[in-house]
Structure formats: structure tokens, C-alpha cells
Structure 1
Amino acid sequence: MSKIEPQPAANEVYRLPPPLFDARCRACWMVAALAALVVASFWSLDLQWARFFSIESLARMGRFAGELARPALGHAFLQKLLPAALETLAMSVVGTVLAVVAGLLLALPASKLHDGDPARWRGPTRLLLNALRSVPELMWAALLLIAAGLGPFAGTLALAVHTSGVLGRLFAESIENAAQGPAFALRVRGVPEGRVFLYATLPQVLPQLMSYALYRWENNIRAAAVLGVVGAGGLGQMLAFHLGLFQMGETGTVLLAMIVLVSLVDAASYVARRFMGR
């Protein structure tokens, strides 16, 4: 018995899939521009791939990695390493907390809370946030070292200043994208704007704000370690010292401590996100 093929309905119209590129498609032009930018970037950079993958280069990298793979685990050195690791952790925690507070205070004038909000300070505040996060942490640390001197204080302030610009922009975007219904319901009842934010907007965006803060804390652990290179204390200062003396065993131990510290912070951040998601 032969199988009967289904026949198309009389009014059913089969259409070919759209072409990959359409001159009226804005997204297509955007993708084409990005592709051209990638090609131009590869063309403009002097990427010496053959030299990088040469036998001589690979042998040198292998010899250097082998020296780092024999960390120094002496009791005297580990006694110096533990306070430096705790100092790096403290720098990241204090810098992130200060940045959360400053970022939230700057996010309020940098965001438009509702359609009727004039948001007079939105432009200048966003320009300030752009300036804060455009300057790298190393540059902020170098500037603050002049005023605060060597040590973790300058590094902590550098983390706080740079992260304030990052979190302020992210917080402002979250506040502007919050649903307007609850806030509008309170506003029509004559509730002051401050209480509207606390009772309507903040509960909506608080999980997202906490997620951004935890993510920046993870980044600040690595940044705090790097800031020690310019004399801001912590593991980075030990790394710069021993690497400058070509003491590869001690350098490998410091790098191992950084990996352990970042892993612990990542695990703590994961637990905190799971707890907030319940």
C-alpha cells in the first residue's frame, strides 16, 4: 500500500528563507562593520605567529614554566605569604564595599527614574562615571601613592575609585530598566520619591545589584594583586619583588596563593548567589 503524501492547502504559501544580507537590515550592517573592524585589527597588528610557535620560543616558555612549577614551600616564606594574602583579600573587600556605596549614590542622579523625571544631573554624573572607570586601577594607585604613600591604603582607594565608576554605571542601568508599575502606583498616592525608590524600585533591582557587586569583588581580588606591583602592598608587592630578583620558586608560590585566593572568593560568590536566588 503506497503512502499518501500530504498535499499543501490551497491558501498556503511557501516562502524562501530571507537572505543572509539585506541592505535594509541594520543588524546586517552592524555585523558587517564589526567583521571589518576585526579584519582591520588583525591586519594592523604585527602578530608574529611563526615566531611565537617556533621551537625556540616554546622551549624557552617551557623552561620558564618548569621553574615556576617548583614553588618554594619553606616555613619562613609561608609565614610572610599568609599576611600578604590576607592583606590582598582585605584590600578587595574594603575597596568593593566603598565602591558599592559610592556607586549607588552616583547611580541615583545618573539614572532617569520615570518618564516625567527631568534628570538634570544625569549627563554630568554619567560623564563622571566614565572618567572614573576609564582610568585604570594602576594609574589611580600611582596617583594616590603620592598622597597616601606606599602600602595597602593607596591600593584600596584605587580599587574603590575605579570600581565606583563601573558599578555606578551598572547600577544606573539596572535602576532605569526596573518596571515602572510599582513606583507609579506609589507616586500617584503622593508618596515621596525617596520612599518610592526604597519600597518599589530597590527591591526589584537589589538581586541584580548584588550580583554586579559580587562579580566586581572577584575582579578586585585580581586587581588588588596587580596593584601591589606599584607598591600598594599584598601579594602583588611580593610578586614584583621576587620576580625582579628572578627567584622563580618564590614567584611560583605567590602565583599559587593568588590562584587559591581567587578560587575561594569565586566559591564564596557562588554560594552567595545561590543563597540570594532562593
Structure 2
Amino acid sequence: MRRAMPAPPPRSYSTWLLMAALAALAAASFYSLPLEWAALFSEDAVRSSAEFLAGFAPPDTTQPFLLKCLGATLETLSMSALGTLLAVAGGLALALPAGGRFGNVLRWPTRGLLNVLRSIPELVWASLLLVAAGLGPFAGTLALAMHTVGVLGRLFADLLENTEPQPERALRANGAAPMAAFLYATLPQALPQMLSYTLYRWENNIRAAAVLGVVGAGGLGQMLKYHLSLFQMQQAATVIVAMLLLVGLVDAASYALRRALTR
């Protein structure tokens, strides 16, 4: 005889209230926003969009322009990689006090700093840093690092807080130094998930680095802005294809690395 499935656990009133509030928020959003669906799918809109997209074909495949795109692609890749590397170092340094390693005196101010860093988008960081660092990839790299420090720092802090404390306590009880106990007991527990978060943020930074060039931060985004502003649509199409290929390759490589780390 087939055993009956157990009944699902009862939901609390707070869960139902939260779901109702989310549904009301979604309904209010549709009501308050002037969404003109008829204009979006009108005959004029479809015809204008088709004419605009037709201007991108065929992409510019001349050798000098492809070499120029290759250089910008490598610049975008370098911006994302270096920005992520700097963010890992800064995020781990801030995650220690944010995770309560030095008591509650530093915990809440550090978490507040992480909230500020990640609440400011990369484009805003780039616009601010362009004043100090000037046009080019340096400002874009710093902008990626500043935002990603806030994201990774919060994730790393939560990971360190949720690790099993007993191994570190055992080492401390046997005379190990606090830093040695942390490095040999706590950090190895969190390291695989930290690497997974880092690779995921690297994927996001590839996309962000491709967009940061719009404000003059170098790479493919700067090329795209330049050619679109001059209505050189075929050159812009080549840049867009380069962006798609770069994001696809990095996504595939990051997915393979995450699979290898979690096995």
C-alpha cells in the first residue's frame, strides 16, 4: 500500500501577510505606471524598430576594426578581472569585522559601510571616480572594485558567521593562536562558497565593465557609445557581437569552474 504524503506544515499569519503585501505591491505597480502596451506593439513602433535593427546589418568585419575590437575586449576582460581581484581582497578584509570577529564595536559600522558601497551602482561610482582618475579603464576598474567590495564583503561576512565554530574553538583550547585557528579551521569551511561567489561576481562584472564604457571608462562600452553617437551602426553591431561572445565565454568558464569546485 502506498504511504500517504505527509501534510505540509501550516503557514503562519506573517507569511500570508507578506505574500498579500507583495501581491498588493505588484498590483499597485501596474496601476501606477503609465504602461502603454498598445503603443509598444503598434504598426509604427514595429516598423521603426525593424528599420533601426536593419541598420546594424551586416556587422563590420574588416581586419583593422576587428583588431580594434579585440583590444577593447581584452581591456574589458582585464577591468573585470582586476576589479574582482581587488574586491576579493577588500571584501575579505571588511568581512572579518563585519562577521563579528572583533566584537560588536566594529561589526555594525563595518556592515553600514558595506551597505553604502553596494547600494551605489557601478555607473555612479565610475562617474564619481572619473573626476579623480580621468577617462579610461582605471576609473572603471576602481568603480567595479568599490561596488563589488560591498557585495562580496557582505556575503563573506555571512558565510563566516554561519560556519561551524567548534573546530576553531578546539584549536584555541589546545593553544593555537587566534589567526592560526581561523586560517586552519574556519576559513577552509567557507572557502569553497567564497570562490563560488567570487566567480559569480566576476560574471556580473564582465557585463558591468562592458557598460561602464558608456561614461568613458574604456573597453567595449566606450567603443559602443562612440559608434552609436556617430550613427555608425555596422561598427556598433560588431562591438555588440564582441560583448555577447565575451559574456558567453566567461559565463561558460565560470560555470565549469563552479562545478569543479562543488564536486
TM-score, with structure 1 as normaliser: 0.88
Supply the AA of the counterpart residue of 1:265.
V
Residue in 2 that maps onto 1:75? 63
Task: Return the match for 1:63 from 48, 51, 76.
Answer: 51
Bigger shift: residues 154-163 or 66-75: 66-75
Instruction: Deviation per CA, 1:52-94: give whole Å up to 9, x if none.
Output: 1112112222222232242111112112111111000000000
TM-score, with structure 2 as normaliser: 0.93
Separation (CA, whole Å) in 1 of partners of 2:183 and 2:50: 56
Instruction: Deviation per CA, 1:206-232: give whole Å up to 9, x if none.
Output: 111001100110111111111111111
Separation (CA, whole Å) in 1 of partners of 2:9 and 2:104: 43
Quote the offset at 1:267 in angstroms: 1.4
Q: Which has the larger radius of gyration?
A: 1
Residue in 2 that maps onto 1:32? 20
Indicate whether 1:222 and 2:207 are aligned: yes
Separation (CA, whole Å) in 1 of partners of 2:192 and 2:57: 41
Residue in 2 that maps onto 1:206? 191
Supply the AA of the counterpart residue of 1:236.
G
Once superposed, which parts of structure 1, at least 4 consecutive aligned residues long, lie more than 3 Å away? Answer: 16-19
Instruction: Deviation per CA, 1:135-175: give whole Å up to 9, x if none.
Output: 11111111111111111111101111111011101111111
Separation (CA, whole Å) in 1 of partners of 2:173 and 2:17: 44
Residue in 2 that maps onto 1:130? 115
Unaligned residue ranges in structure 2 (runs of 5+): 2-6
Residue in 2 that maps onto 1:183? 168
Supply the AA of the counterpart residue of 1:235.
L
Separation (CA, whole Å) in 1 of partners of 2:52 and 2:86: 39
Residue in 1 that maps onto 2:228? 243
**Is residue 111–residue 119 contact of structure 1 (8 Å, CA) maintained in 2?**
no
Residue in 2 that maps onto 1:87? 75
Instruction: Deviation per CA, 1:186-244: give whole Å up to 9, x if none.
Output: 23334222122111111111111001100110111111111111111110010000011
Q: Give the secondary structure class of the aligned counterpart of 1:179.
A: coil
Quote the offset at 1:125 in angstroms: 0.3
Task: Return the match for 1:254 from 239, 242, 246.
Answer: 239
Residue in 2 that maps onto 1:145? 130
**Is residue 97–residue 103 contact of structure 2 (8 Å, CA) maintained in 1?**
no
Separation (CA, whole Å) in 2 of partners of 1:190 and 1:17: 48
What is the identity percentage for the equivalent residue pairs of Structure 1 and Structure 2?
Answer: 60
Residue in 1 that maps onto 2:144? 159
Unaligned residue ranges in structure 1 (runs of 5+): 1-5, 7-15
Residue in 2 that maps onto 1:105? 93
Separation (CA, whole Å) in 1 of partners of 2:137 and 2:74: 11
Separation (CA, whole Å) in 2 of partners of 1:183 and 1:59: 66
Instruction: Deviation per CA, 1:25-50: give whole Å up to 9, x if none.
Output: 21111111111111111112111111
Supply the AA of the counterpart residue of 1:106.
L
Supply the AA of the counterpart residue of 1:41.
S
What is the number of residues matched between the two proteins? 259
